[in-house]
């Protein structure tokens, strides 16, 4: 086993043991914090497939997070008000069932990611960063002006949605559900990175011309990666909305897109557990610094600046060494 | 719908476009010359607006406020260039994005710490307040008209600076080949600090001028920053001419879209639904414009380099 595997195992143990400990010592708030960290980690993990493996610096991944959130919000909103979503061409009703919500969240995020990717991937480098950012703003403003679903105020959902066989209102059970999804996503990413597709995608980041020369199309590889990436972040958005029982345009905000990138960099780019460690650290820092000062973002800003300027490879690079370079 | 309304809206679009140009010009210069993507450019806009509001509240003079905006933003720009940004020129774009994202956090929260969360107000000077009658009997606010004229004057000055002066020659040479001009004895570090401070001063000026018609508050810079990104993506990164054309296109599309799209939909829908859909589409119009330009020309209208 490499040192990175030990770090990953320790991280996994923490994800399982800390909430169990909090459950035993009756501290539900700690479980809520852990759930938040796990969901944000899932969102950043989605981005890491595009950014870490594919080298696509998307500054608009909050788009998919927001779409997932609104998929949950709209379905549950109609279900709690007993109004149909559409009556024509056939009756579509809302639902409070998580699996259906997740399906809708991932499918719609995937379609939007495909469309945004189709346009944005025509460009590279700094153009790509700016264009994904602009698409993020486009959906942000759209959600603000969409008065039917709360506009700027967002939608409140009074009761958390259900999952067959679980009581999702119990914090530990909802946490377990989110953790299970995160672990599945981690397993998926681990397989993906080793698959022929993952290897080709990695190569397309490093030397696109050679990838072309062996007969593969970098654009197609990147488009598929971007779509998968958006779907995972969309699923995280649906879970996040369910955690807060609230969805609003802030889920589309560009700050959130920036924070997803920050999670990956703090943890370690293209590392399997990078987003998990990054998101967990962010939630801890937010909680600790937020308790000390209202202006904690300043100190977070300085910390981030220090990591970018002087730290290479993030926390995992620090603990496990052998930074994997990103281009 | 009268011709007067159309002309008024055209002028409004021109005004917001030319202010966007002041933002976009600095952004595109910094990218063209140093290869740096600077998210903190919006913070410099905010710094300018706060410097102007504080200075004009202290002295009672709007014009001293403008001077304070120029100096404050240029100084803030020079400081971040000297301390942080020059370490980033050789790094990849991801590092630049993150470091300047961190700078936004520091600037925004720092400003909130000093000035509080409530918006400040910057009053239009008496000399420039009130309407003016244009040929054809159109009443238009004098201040907005002044903004258009100031913006056009700055644009002309900038084109002159780049095309006709020694500094401009060095800036253009720095864009093409930094090693060569360094070898010819130009102090490249000083040139970079100058370019960055110039861009910052333009952003600060825009912040102060627009701050007088909107409110001066924390977070005012980022929406403008993102619009400026759209502008330079449309115009082509690194091109001042592209920034000007792009800014005017974005300003006009945004202003005219939010007025005329709801009216367009009212022709064949009921008014409530029309204004709803029209407003939604208008808020997305500039991004649709950007997407259209990119499909046609992936490096923007005047962007030669990929």
Partner-chain contact B94 A57, CB within 8 Å: yes
Q: Which residues pair with A93 in a beta bridge?
A: A84
pLDDT at B1: 57
pTM of the model: 0.89
pLDDT at B180: 86
Is A246 in a helix, a strand, or coil? strand
Residues from chain B contacting residue A134 (CB–CB below 8 Å): 226, 229-230, 233, 287, 290
Q: Which residues lie closer than 8 Å to A98 by C-beta, 6 or more apart?
A: A161, A162, A163, A168, A177, A238, A242
pLDDT at B138: 81
pLDDT at B16: 92
| Structural domain for B54, as ranges | 13-218
CA distance B58 to chain A (A): 26
Lowest mean pLDDT among A27-36, B196-205, B256-265: B256-265
The ranges of chain A with pLDDT < 50 are 323-327
CA distance B208 to chain A (A): 24
Here the contacts of A190-194 (C-beta below 8 Å, separation 24 or greater) are A190/A272, A192/A49, A192/A53, A192/A228, A193/A53, A193/A272
Window 286-305 of A: residues touching B by CB (8 A cutoff) are 295-298, 300-302, 304-305
| Residue A270 contacts B where some CB pair is shorter than 8 Å | no
Partner-chain contact A301 B222, CB within 8 Å: no
| Residue A250 contacts B where some CB pair is shorter than 8 Å | no
pLDDT at B306: 45
Tokens, residue B98: 């993150």
User: What mean pLDDT value characterizes chain B?
Assistant: 88
CA distance A121 to chain B (A): 10
Sign of the torsion angle spanned by Cα atoms A304, A308, A312, A313: positive
Which among B127, B120, B142, B132 has a CA at the least distance from the CA of B208?
B120
Partner-chain contact A308 B98, CB within 8 Å: yes
Residues from chain B contacting residue A129 (CB–CB below 8 Å): 37, 93, 97
- Asked whether the predicted pLDDT for residue B75 surpasses 60, the reply is yes
pLDDT at A326: 45
- Give the number of other CB atoms < 10 A from CB of residue B231: 30
CA distance A155 to chain B (A): 18
Which among B155, B190, B158, B191 has a CA at the least distance from the CA of B173?
B191
Is B195 within the bounds of a domain?
yes
Residues from chain A contacting residue B84 (CB–CB below 8 Å): 305, 309
CA distance A172 to chain B (A): 33
Residues from chain A contacting residue B283 (CB–CB below 8 Å): 138, 141-142, 144-145
Which has more confidence, A59 or B277? A59
Give the separation between CA B237 and CA B234, rounded to whole angstroms: 8
| Residue A327 contacts B where some CB pair is shorter than 8 Å | yes
Q: Which of A122, A123, A141 sits opposite B283 (nearest CB)?
A: A141
User: Where do the structural domains in chain A lie, given as residue ranges?
Assistant: 51-251, 253-327
% of residues, chain B, pLDDT over 70: 99
- Asked whether the predicted pLDDT for residue B256 surpasses 60, the reply is yes
What is the residue whose two structure tokens read 């397309």?
Answer: A204
B305 pLDDT band (50/70/90 cuts)?
low
Once rounded to an integer, what is the mean pLDDT over residues B190-195? 91
- Considering only the C-alpha atoms of chain A, give the largest distance between any 2 of them, rounded to a whole number of Å: 60
Residue to substitute from A115, A137, A270, interface B, most B β-carbons within 10 A = A137
Q: How many residues does chain B have?
A: 306
* Range list of H helices, A163-313: 171-194, 196-206, 208-213, 218-244, 254-267, 274-292, 296-310
Are the C-beta atoms of residues A261 and B98 closer than 8 Å to each other?
A: yes
pLDDT at A325: 44
Partner-chain contact B237 A126, CB within 8 Å: yes
How much of chain B is in helix, strand and coil states, percent to nearest 5? 75, 5, 20
Cis status, amide bond into A89, omega within 30 of 0: yes
The number of distinct structural domains making up chain B is 1
Residues from chain B contacting residue A137 (CB–CB below 8 Å): 223, 226, 287
pLDDT at A203: 93
pLDDT at A130: 85
Partner-chain contact A295 B109, CB within 8 Å: yes
pLDDT at B304: 64
**From its phi and psi, is residue A89 left (phi > 0), alpha (psi between -120 and 50) or beta?**
alpha
Partner-chain contact B105 A298, CB within 8 Å: yes
Residues from chain B contacting residue A265 (CB–CB below 8 Å): 94, 98
Once rounded to an integer, what is the mean pLDDT over residues B75-100? 91
Residues from chain B contacting residue A302 (CB–CB below 8 Å): 102, 106
pLDDT at A327: 42
Once rounded to an integer, what is the mean pLDDT over residues B138-158? 91
| Residue A124 contacts B where some CB pair is shorter than 8 Å | yes
Which has more confidence, B11 or B130? B11
Tokens, residue B242: 């592209």
pLDDT at B43: 95
């Amino acid at each position: 086993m490499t040192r990175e595997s030990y770090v990953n195992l320790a991280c996994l143990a923490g994800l399982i043991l800390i909430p169990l400990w909090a459950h035993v010592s009756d501290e539900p708030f700690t479980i809520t914090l852990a759930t938040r960290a796990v969901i944000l980690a899932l969102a950043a993990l989605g981005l890491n497939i595009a950014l870490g493996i594919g080298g696509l610096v998307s500054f608009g991944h909050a788009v998919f997070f927001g779409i997932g959130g609104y998929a949950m919000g709209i379905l549950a909103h109609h279900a709690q008000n007993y109004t149909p979503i559409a009556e024509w061409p056939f009756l579509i009703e809302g639902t409070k069932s998580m699996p259906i919500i997740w399906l809708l969240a991932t499918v719609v995020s995937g379609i939007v990611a495909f469309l945004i990717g189709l346009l944005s991937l025509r460009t590279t480098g700094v153009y790509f960063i700016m264009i994904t950012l602009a698409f993020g703003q486009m959906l942000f403003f759209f959600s603000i002006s969409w008065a039917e679903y709360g506009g700027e105020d967002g939608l409140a959902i009074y009761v958390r949605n259900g999952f067959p066989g679980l009581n999702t209102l119990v914090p530990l059970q909802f946490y377990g559900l989110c953790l299970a999804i995160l672990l599945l996503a981690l397993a998926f990413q681990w397989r993906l990175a080793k698959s022929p597709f993952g290897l080709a995608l990695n190569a397309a980041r490093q030397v696109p011309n050679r990838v072309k020369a062996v007969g593969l199309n970098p654009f197609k590889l990147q488009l598929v990666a971007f779509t998968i990436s958006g779907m995972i972040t969309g699923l995280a958005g649906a879970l996040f909305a369910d955690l807060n029982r609230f969805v609003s345009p802030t889920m589309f905000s560009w700050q959130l897109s920036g924070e997803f990138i920050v999670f990956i960099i703090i943890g370690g780019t293209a590392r399997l557990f990078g987003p998990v460690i990054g998101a967990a650290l962010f939630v801890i820092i937010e909680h600790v610094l937020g308790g000390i000062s209202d202006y904690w973002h300043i100190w977070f800003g300085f910390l981030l600046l220090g990591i970018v300027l002087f730290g290479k490879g993030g926390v995992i690079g620090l603990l496990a060494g052998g930074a994997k370079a990103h281009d | 719908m009268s011709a007067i309304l159309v002309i008024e809206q055209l002028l409004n679009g021109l005004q917001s476009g030319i202010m966007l140009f002041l933002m976009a010009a600095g952004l595109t210069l910094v990218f063209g010359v140093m290869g740096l993507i600077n998210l903190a450019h919006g913070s410099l806009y905010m710094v300018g607006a706060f410097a102007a509001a504080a200075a004009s509240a202290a002295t009672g003079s709007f014009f001293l406020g403008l001077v304070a905006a120029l100096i404050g933003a240029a100084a803030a720009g020079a400081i971040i260039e000297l301390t942080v940004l020059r370490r980033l020129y050789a790094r990849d774009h991801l590092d630049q994005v993150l470091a300047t994202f961190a700078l936004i956090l520091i600037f925004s929260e720092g400003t909130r710490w000093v000035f509080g969360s409530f918006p400040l107000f910057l009053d239009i000077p008496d000399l420039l307040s009130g309407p003016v009658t244009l040929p054809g009997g159109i009443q238009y606010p004098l201040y907005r008209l002044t903004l258009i004229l100031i913006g056009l004057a700055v644009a002309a000055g900038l084109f002159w600076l780049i095309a006709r002066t020694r500094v401009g020659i060095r800036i253009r040479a720095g864009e093409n080949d930094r090693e060569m001009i360094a070898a010819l004895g130009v102090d490249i570090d000083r040139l970079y600090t100058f370019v960055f401070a110039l861009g910052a001063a333009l952003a600060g000026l825009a912040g102060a001028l627009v701050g007088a018609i909107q409110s001066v508050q924390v977070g005012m810079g980022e929406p403008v920053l993102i619009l400026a990104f759209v502008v330079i993506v449309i115009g082509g990164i690194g091109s001042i001419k592209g920034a000007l054309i792009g800014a005017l296109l974005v300003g006009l599309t945004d202003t005219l879209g939010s007025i005329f799209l709801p009216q367009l939909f009212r022709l064949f829908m009921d008014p409530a639904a029309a204004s709803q859909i029209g407003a939604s589409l208008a808020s997305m119009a500039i991004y649709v414009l950007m997407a259209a330009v990119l499909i046609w020309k992936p490096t923007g209208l005047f962007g030669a380099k990929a």
